[in-house]
Amino acid sequence: MDKQQFQKRTKQLGVRIIKMTEALPNTRAADVVARQIIRSSTSVGSNYRAACRAKSTADMINKLKIVEEEADETLFWLEMLIETELMTQQKLQALHKETDEILAMTIASIKTLRKRKS
């Protein structure tokens, strides 16, 4: 997968999460979780975009570490939605899978960059 395809994929994750939050119940808890998951999921795409413009390998690794953290946080909020029964696991399965794949590819990229650097 090339840089532009991954940029599109990480951006689409945020778009899909935003649309998913519109289906949440109108409760205080759902609102809090929705704000958090929107923030973390959209940060995945914006920080990957920043990583693509990194000035050095070290800078790119640092920016990709942020992508890793935000993707992992997005997984956390997806799990919270399921465990609090605000949404079913079945409805979130595809989003969970996509986020997990993005996280795995980001970690693999960080490892590759670290090997090249040393």
Angstrom CA distances, 18 to 7, 24, 39, stand at: 17, 11, 9
Residue 64's pLDDT is 98
Residue at token pair 């090339």:
2
pLDDT tens figures, 60-113: 999 999 999 999 999 999 999 999 999 999 999 999 999 999 999 999 999 999
- Report the distance separating Cα 7 and Cα 91, nearest Å: 24
Cα four-point dihedral sign 59, 61, 65, 66: positive
- Decide: 106 and 6 in contact? Cβ < 8 Å: no
Q: Is the pLDDT of residue 13 over 90?
A: yes
**Can you tell me the mean pLDDT for 12-29?**
97
Average pLDDT rounded to a whole number, residues 45-52: 97
pLDDT range class, residue 1, cuts 50, 70, 90:
confident
Helix (H, G, I), strand (E, B) or coil at 2: coil
Using the predicted structure, report yes or no on whether residue 52 has a pLDDT greater than 80. Answer: yes
| CATH superfamily of the 3-117 domain | 23S rRNA-intervening sequence (1.20.1440.60)
By percentage, how much of the chain surpasses pLDDT 70?
A: 100
pTM beyond cutoff 0.85: yes
Neighbour-count burial of 10, counting CB atoms closer than 10 A to its CB (0-12 exposed, 13-18 middle, 19+ buried): buried
